[in-house]
Chains A and B, each alone.
Chain A
Amino acid sequence: MIVHQVLSGAGPYDAVTNEALEFRRRFQAWGWGGLDVAAAIDPRMNGRMAALDALAPAPGDVLLVHYSAYAPKVARVLELANRKLLLSHNVTPAHWLWAHEPMIAVQCAVGRAQLAEFVRACDRVAADSEFNAAELRAAGAQDVDVLHVLADPDRLGPPAAQDPPGPPTLLFVGRLMPHKRQDAAIRAFALYAREHAPDARLVLVGEPISARYGERLRALAEQLAPGAVTFEQSLSSAQLGERYRCAHAFVGLSEHEGFCVPLLEAMRLGVPVVARPAGAVPEVAGDAALLVDDEDLAVVAELVHLAVSDAGLRAELRRRGMARAQELAPERTAQRLRAALEALSLRA
């Protein structure tokens, strides 16, 4: 069987790209061929993704179209006669971006508007969460397969054997973007540090949506917690795994998540999670995270304090987190993906 994957963009620290590469490893293990192409490719991909123009599918080949952003070139793929599986990873609602990055907001607005066109043109549709599936149904899809994100569980190494030493360290991993609310994480952290742990640290890992937005977040951190907030990006898998193992809690105050791979990674590595119940977060977290939708950041700070200092709570969250990660194990997604693609191939 030949399955080609089509992405709007590919980059080394992009969750969709990483999942596509993981899919390809599975395809190879199943003896399937095909090419992975993207409309825009970060030079740091070093040849791991081909240009969209290289796509020349034979009539029986299946196309797996990853939808995560507006990409006019990808829309041309819809004209091909091949069977297509659309996998929606969610496009960020534009209202989060108008004030900060209007150009990206336009792309998001058009990307969300065009989702219905992609749904109509594909033979089968899938989403990586129930939350995303609901958006696909709203866009006209009848049956939607839910394929939870397939992330290599060994990529970040094993969980820490015991609680990390040193001052309380909070972690969030995700692009520095307005809807990820790193600004709220910084404010909650500042309150927590003032009230409970003056030596606490906050580590924010992620590439900024723009240099300007990254600078503004850094300025906010310097105002509220001088010297206590670290910004990091472009980490290797080993480095990222180490950040999780050194964290006492993962604090995600994001207000829109189509899945949230870092949440799954934190649970897999035994890090207690405090998060907003936004988008797909409750679905991914199950009963294994402390979810808080209180506007009052003092409540968030107190919850963080409990997650860091209550040994019994930590142990239970760690146990539940690992169990939840097991329920979202990649093998299940791989089986469902394989079934969906094989069914599509049989219809060709």
Chain B
Amino acid sequence: MRPEEALSAAREAAAQARARGGYSDDLARFQVEAPERPGIGKLLEWAVIEPDMAQLHSTRRLGAPITALKRALARGMAQYNLQVLAQQTRFNVHMAMEVSLLADRVTRLEERARDEVRPPGARSIPPR
């Protein structure tokens, strides 16, 4: 068979196989599930940064001395690092709060929009 003929042959073979009961398994539902998206509560929780010193390590083989050196440096830099963390945390918290307020506002607007298309006489939900 020439490569140019292969695709039509494959389509035909797949159709014939299906006709005799082959390829009966529907595998489309087997997906790589995406992780659940974090909600506003999780974002607020993550906004406050608390680095874990145990995560400070060397990826090299026999890296224990390098890990010890890195941790000593981190301790030495603690005062400066805390300032940086405080700045970043302030930004994160305010950003998460803004997102949270926007989400509330969108919810209210959606409710109002639903009310406006409600049939006359139906009870409307008062704006918050």
A183 to B34, CA, bound (A): 12
B76 within 8 A of A: no
Q: Judge whether B32 and A220 touch: CB under 8 Å.
A: yes
Q: Judge whether A302 and B34 touch: CB under 8 Å.
A: no
Q: Judge whether B1 and A310 touch: CB under 8 Å.
A: yes
Interface string of B1-34 (1 = CB under 8 A from A): 1111011011101100110001101011011111
CB contacts (< 8 Å) of B10 on chain A: these are 292, 299-300, 302-303, 305-306
Interface string of B25-54 (1 = CB under 8 A from A): 101101111110100000000000000000
A317 to B2, CA, bound (A): 9
A183 to B33, CA, bound (A): 10
A191 within 8 A of B: yes
A272 to B38, CA, bound (A): 43
CB distance from A235 to the nearest CB of B (A): 18
A223 within 8 A of B: yes
Q: Judge whether A190 and B1 touch: CB under 8 Å.
A: no
B59 within 8 A of A: yes
The answer to whether A191 and B25 touch (CB under 8 A), given A183-B31, A213-B32, A306-B10, is yes
CB distance from A299 to the nearest CB of B (A): 5
Q: Judge whether A306 and B6 touch: CB under 8 Å.
A: yes
A95 within 8 A of B: no
B128 within 8 A of A: no
A307 to B6, CA, bound (A): 9
Q: Judge whether A290 and B27 touch: CB under 8 Å.
A: no
A294 to B6, CA, bound (A): 13
How many chain A residues touch B (CB < 8 A): the figure is: 41
Q: Judge whether B30 and A290 touch: CB under 8 Å.
A: no
- Specify the main secondary structure of chain A where it touches its partner: helix
CB distance from B62 to the nearest CB of A (A): 12
Q: Judge whether B17 and A306 touch: CB under 8 Å.
A: no
B60 within 8 A of A: yes
Q: Judge whether B1 and A183 touch: CB under 8 Å.
A: no
- Specify the main secondary structure of chain B where it touches its partner: loop
The answer to whether A178 and B32 touch (CB under 8 A), given A290-B3, A292-B7, A306-B9, is yes
CB distance from B80 to the nearest CB of A (A): 20
CB distance from B113 to the nearest CB of A (A): 26
A348 within 8 A of B: no
CB interface residues, B 84-115, toward A, < 8 Å? none
CB distance from A175 to the nearest CB of B (A): 14
Q: Judge whether B27 and A287 touch: CB under 8 Å.
A: no
Q: Judge whether B2 and A301 touch: CB under 8 Å.
A: no
Q: Judge whether A298 and B23 touch: CB under 8 Å.
A: yes
Q: Judge whether B32 and A312 touch: CB under 8 Å.
A: no
The answer to whether A296 and B27 touch (CB under 8 A), given A43-B59, A178-B32, A306-B6, is no
A323 within 8 A of B: no
Interface string of A173-202 (1 = CB under 8 A from B): 000001000010001001100110000000
CB interface residues, A 200-217, toward B, < 8 Å? 212-213, 216-217
The answer to whether A301 and B32 touch (CB under 8 A), given A195-B17, A287-B3, is no
A312 to B5, CA, bound (A): 12
CB contacts (< 8 Å) of B32 on chain A: these are 100, 178, 183, 213, 216-217, 220
CB distance from A214 to the nearest CB of B (A): 10
A320 within 8 A of B: yes
Residue numbers of A with Cβ under 8 A of B are 43, 99-100, 178, 183, 187, 190-191, 194-195, 212-213, 216-217, 220, 223-224, 287-292, 294, 296-303, 305-307, 310, 312-313, 316-317, 320
Taking A287-B4, A298-B18, A306-B13 as known contacts, 19 extra A-B pairs with beta carbons closer than 8 A to each other, sorted by chain A number, are A187-B27, A187-B30, A191-B23, A194-B25, A195-B22, A216-B32, A216-B33, A224-B27, A290-B7, A297-B27, A299-B7, A299-B10, A302-B11, A302-B13, A303-B10, A306-B10, A310-B6, A312-B1, A316-B2
Would you mind naming 24 contact pairs between A and B with Cβ atoms under 8 Å apart?
A43-B59, A43-B60, A178-B32, A191-B27, A195-B22, A216-B32, A287-B3, A288-B3, A289-B3, A290-B6, A290-B7, A291-B7, A292-B7, A292-B10, A298-B14, A298-B18, A299-B7, A301-B14, A301-B23, A302-B10, A303-B6, A306-B6, A310-B6, A313-B3
Residue numbers of B with Cβ under 8 A of A are 1-4, 6-7, 9-11, 13-14, 17-18, 22-23, 25, 27-28, 30-35, 37, 59-60
